[in-house]
Amino acid sequence: MFSQTVEYALRAVVYLAAEAPAARTTAQMAETTKVPKDYLAKIVQGLARAGLVRTQRGVGGGVVLAKDPAAVTILDVVNAVEPIRRITACPLGLKAHGVRLCPLHKRMDNALAAVEEAFRATTLAEVLAEPTDSVPLCDGPRPERLTVRGKGAG
């Protein structure tokens, strides 16, 4: 139900959060996140437009997370690339349903609300700080770099 774009954007941002405040080239991002480079470039554009990442020029340049990982939620990332569209009006355009969704669309909207809620409740910092054997994007033990600022084993 989550598109490839959403999956890739989350990988990209989790990677940048782990590397923050350092910038990473799209080549580095693509390698770790296993996202095709062209696809990744488009996603980075979307994330930049939403103010989640910015591009730095020069030596050590590349893409960098524009905010504190503790201030960015999964929902922020999803909404930056493919907004969750709540059902606010009858999709059939029925006049009588304009102000009040029918039980079918109310149920569908409730499910969307549950997803929003779950994604709003989790920050990138939490994703990275959670003690687990499976470190996001990393096949093996938690490396020194793949930690959140001021947290982790590093």
Q: Catalog residues that contact a second copy under the rule CB under 8 A.
A: 1-2, 7, 10-11, 14, 33-34, 74, 84-85, 90-97, 100-105, 107-108, 110-112, 114-115, 118-119, 122, 126-128, 130, 132-140
Least gap, CB of 68 to a second copy (angstroms): 18
Q: Which is nearer to a second copy, 103 or 150 (CB)?
A: 103
Q: Which is nearer to a second copy, 23 or 124 (CB)?
A: 124
Which region, left, alpha or beta, applies to residue 103 given φ > 0 means left and ψ of -120 to 50 means alpha? alpha
Question: Using CA atoms, how far apart are residues 89 and 63, in angstroms rounded to an integer?
Answer: 38
Residues 6+ apart with CB under 8 A from 102: 90, 94
Q: Are 81 and 6 a contacting pair, CB within 8 Å?
A: yes
Q: Which is nearer to a second copy, 63 or 78 (CB)?
A: 78
Least gap, CB of 18 to a second copy (angstroms): 11
Q: Which is nearer to a second copy, 23 or 146 (CB)?
A: 146
Least gap, CB of 57 to a second copy (angstroms): 29
Least gap, CB of 19 to a second copy (angstroms): 15
Provide the token pair at 154: 């590093």
Q: Which helix (H) or strand (E) holds 79?
A: helix 74-81
How many alpha carbons fall within 13 Å on the CB side of residue 37?
Answer: 5
